[in-house]
Structure 1
Amino acid sequence: MTLHSGAPMPDSLRHYMRAKQHPARSVPCPHCGVAAHKPCELRTTGRQMPQPHPQRVSDWAQTIACCPACQVTPETPCHDDGRERATVHARRYQEAEATAA
Structure 2
Amino acid sequence: MTSSMPESIRHILRAKQHPARAVPCDHCGAAAHRPCIVRTRNRVLTQPHPQRISAWAQTVACCPDCQVEPTTPCHEDGRARSTVHARRYQEAEETAA
Runs of 4+ in structure 1 deviating by more than 4 angstroms, as ranges, are 1-4
How far apart are 1:80 and its partner, in Å?
A: 0.4
Which residue of structure 2 lines up, in the alignment, with residue 30 of structure 1?
Answer: 26
How far apart are 1:16 and its partner, in Å?
A: 5.8
Q: Tell me how many residue pairs correspond in the alignment.
A: 97
Asked whether the equivalents of residues 42 and 49 of structure 1 are also in contact (C-alpha less than 8 Å), the reply is yes
| Bigger strand fraction | 2
How far apart are 1:14 and its partner, in Å?
A: 3.8
Is 2:63 the counterpart of 1:67?
yes
Q: Give the TM-score of the pair, scaled to structure 1.
A: 0.86
How far apart are 1:18 and its partner, in Å?
A: 1.5
Is 2:87 the counterpart of 1:91?
yes
Residues 71, 46 of structure 1: CA spacing in aligned structure 2 closer, same or farther, 3 A cutoff?
same
The partner residue of 1:50 within 46, 49, 61 is 46
Letter matched to residue 33 of structure 1: G
Q: Give the TM-score of the pair, scaled to structure 2.
A: 0.89
Task: Measure the CA separation in 2 of the matches of 1:37 and 1:90.
Answer: 23
- Gap runs ≥5 in structure 1: none
Give me the identity figure in percent: 71
Superposed CA RMSD in Å reads: 2.2
- Gap runs ≥5 in structure 2: none
